[in-house]
Structure 1
């Protein structure tokens, strides 16, 4: 039996497992190995060190198999090496060196790999490897796991928006009855908000550096003075799919991470707003929960209950995720002089921060799939709220007055006196319209209006969503 300290690796492991391919300790070490291997291949093929052997296709294939075959046995082996070195990146260096020494057993005696042992980790400080490995890990996690989950939520919202574009619903501002809307338009607002943040995250830059112990290429220039080290560094970093940062201390300053985490946290806050609104709509009986989708037990003692657990779970996990992301963004951008090790521990929590967000998005998608609007309750609340028509009536009076009709003054005050703090029926509203002295055509138009029909362009506004739930 395996015991997990936290819920992401325990109760919710099935949902968050995809992130372990990018943000686990094993994944970080795999990417460290990948960076070291690619740097060795780059140095050899570019002839950076005069007279050094050049790898051929078989050598390159062998080298690239080292990170791709990094499994449980290799994880244990690397951990054993680190227990001796007491340094994680140095352990990676030795792990690779030993494989180069053993390469003739696979490639034959003609391979040059044993002769390239000193090229492993050449011209690198640990942070040259770490910053690139972390950037690759985070980039993979965002692009391959978080973004698809966020898009799935935006798509679910867009589908609800289109399906219920014209279904009238009473709005509430400050908890009070307000101008009616439609279910679809409200879902479209969330889809558009979330999609905008998705586009921001999609456009994130993942920066990397390779410039030595204090960002000066000092040892590089002394060892191989004829090389164009900035150009080589840039070419290598960009070959990994990252953006080159030429101006750093010993560490890449992590500003790109702060920007990314702020955007992910913002997406979380939008999703949190969705969770609390859906919870409220369910409490108002504007949405029903399907028993089969939500589970048959809502309370251990009250048989009638079906709790909105998906939205509550999402709300809590979004709060945890956002708190972690905001802490990461605030702390990673500060390093004492050239560097300190606070970022080493801090960055190991990126997986937890994204894991809670991933779990929340999954719950929201499941929650949305398990609810449906309650047209009867929506219609009943609208029919009980004729006072909301005070707004279009007073605006129509203003327009009529501006067009030259007499007796249209003090429209707001007259409607306030009629409706504020009172229960207004359909008959009350029609009698009031008849008493206001409006032009016949305006009075006729308003007399035919009902709260359920007073939704403006809400249904048409849903059309501003494209197929991905984004504004056109």
Structure 2
């Protein structure tokens, strides 16, 4: 095809080519991966030199000067011959660092670079996600505050129930997101470094290098861990760090996916009711066949990707379950896919959700119309109580009045319901109440009895307290990263 490039002749993951941000894409890129490997070899050599092994400043300088000089063609050719990716890159690095060649990867196993690199990428991936999640929470908190006292129909079983407010409903979304924030932060902070543990985790090769000096082996582990930016390493490992770490990581991301799916499903339902819409660009086309439609495409994208994110957690669960003894290599191919894809997917749903929450459109008049359609039924208890009060103070009078009033309002409610359901008419219960002489003692109170704001309970106060005590505090560490706009590619 004229004008087509080589990249269009083979499959490309939409997570990278279509959706995810540059930072997250780079975090899991081959370039970052192999630069990290080389950096880990430098950390190892620096620590070994400090502890007395015969490594020169010239060797370290040579390694550092060629940190980013990666010949991917050479590495691929060597991997085809050696059938080993780590050794291929050891040889490629050694080609640029002939003086340092004897001490590159000294005493280490492949998982020294492989697993430690994965842990660095997981940590850095969380560091990309957390500010994005904070921005979503911030935008949604502003929305909740703005609409804290706007009455709206509450739904249970997707049937009209007692009123709530638009802001209070947003706080239900926020509560889940704040839980996700805590979960992601905990999972990030719980990550440790694998460190230098050797082929089966016994550190035997390093103990041999240091002539049986256990203290130096422990110090080597500590120094490399510190150089890599971790506070702790796992004290015991097999050849790999426990794959339960991957479970923990992907579980919190899957949980975030569930939250986003629920929020965006709610937005899609409300869009159908024409109460709330996601932002709609000036030149955006909602439907190729129906020009007036405004499809909730961003919320739909979030739901579709969130399902993928939730499904990915099954991979580390099954991988951890079948790690035979000190390790088996059937984890490698799976983790190359499941770990990056989880972070890439989480990244794009947060970016998309930020775009949605920055431009949510509310239609108060539509919301009011829906309330007016249902409120007369909800107000029947208020009408009964008003009639009871108007009937006298003695106990027997109140009991008889309540029973009598309940009978009247029940009949009128059924008649009004028949008009709505069978004839498709509007809810005329209020007109029936006004026309019935029985209710003449409270006609002057009906407008007050039907004020929507008398049906929302403490929703506005709950919003205010929740935002102040639960939401704003978790955003404090990210205050300097709030003013970032999201430009969605597609």
User: TM-score scaled to structure 1, two decimals?
Assistant: 0.82
Asked if 1:23 corresponds to 2:25, the answer is no
* Residue of structure 1 equivalent to 2:107: 123
Q: Does 2:125 align with 1:141?
A: yes
- Gap change, CA 1:405 and 1:45, over 3 Å in 2: farther
Gaps of 5+ in 1: 102-113
User: Secondary structure of the equivalent of 2:313?
Assistant: helix
Q: Is the 8 A contact 1:200 1:263 kept in 2?
A: yes
**Structure 2 residue aligned with 1:195, among 163, 166, 178?**
178
TM-fit CA distance, 1:373: 0.7
Match of 1:184 in 2: 167
Post-superposition offset of 1:244? 0.8
In structure 1, the partner of 2:486 is none
Q: CA deviation at 1:11?
A: 5.0
Find the partner of 2:207 among 221, 238, 241: 221
Write the deviation string for residues 325-376 of structure 1: whole angstroms up to 9, x where unpaired: 3323442453111111122112211222222222222222223344311111
Q: Which residue of 2 aligns with 1:109?
A: none
Query: Take 2:410 and 2:48, find their aligned partners in 1: how far apart are those partners?
Result: 79
Distance in 1, matches of 2:186 and 2:273, equals 39
* In structure 1, distance between residues paired with 2:243 and 2:287: 46
Count of paired positions: 442
Q: Aligned partners of 1:232 and 1:327: how far apart in 2?
A: 33
Matched, 1:389 2:379: yes
Deviations 1:394-437 (A, max 9, x none): 89999xxxx996645889x97888757675734567899x97x9
How many Å separate the matches in 2 of 1:396 and 1:238?
A: 72
> Corresponding residue for 2:14?
8
Which residue of structure 2 lines up, in the alignment, with residue 171 of structure 1? 154
Decide which moves more: 457-466 or 246-255: 457-466
Shift of 1:5: 1.5
Q: Superposition pairs for residues 320-339 of structure 1, below 5 Å?
A: 320-332=308-320, 334-339=322-327
Distance 1:320 1:74 in 2: 34
Matches within 5 A, 1:37-436: 37-47=42-52, 49=53, 52-55=54-57, 60=60, 62-67=62-67, 69-70=68-69, 74-101=71-98, 114=99, 116-144=100-128, 146-204=129-187, 205-209=190-194, 210-223=196-209, 224-228=211-215, 229-242=217-230, 243-288=232-277, 291-292=280-281, 295-332=283-320, 334-349=322-337, 350-386=339-375, 387-390=377-380, 407=398, 425-426=429-430
Q: Deviations over 1:238-281 (max 9, x none)?
A: 43123311222111112222111101110110000011000000
User: What's the TM-score once normalised by structure 2's chain length?
Assistant: 0.79
Bigger mean CA offset, 124-133 vs 421-430: 421-430
| Matched position secondary structure for 2:322 | coil
**Contact 1:165–1:182, Cα closer than 8 Å, also in 2:** yes
CA RMSD of aligned residues (A): 3.6
What is the match of residue 479 of structure 2?
A: none
Q: CA deviation at 1:288?
A: 4.0
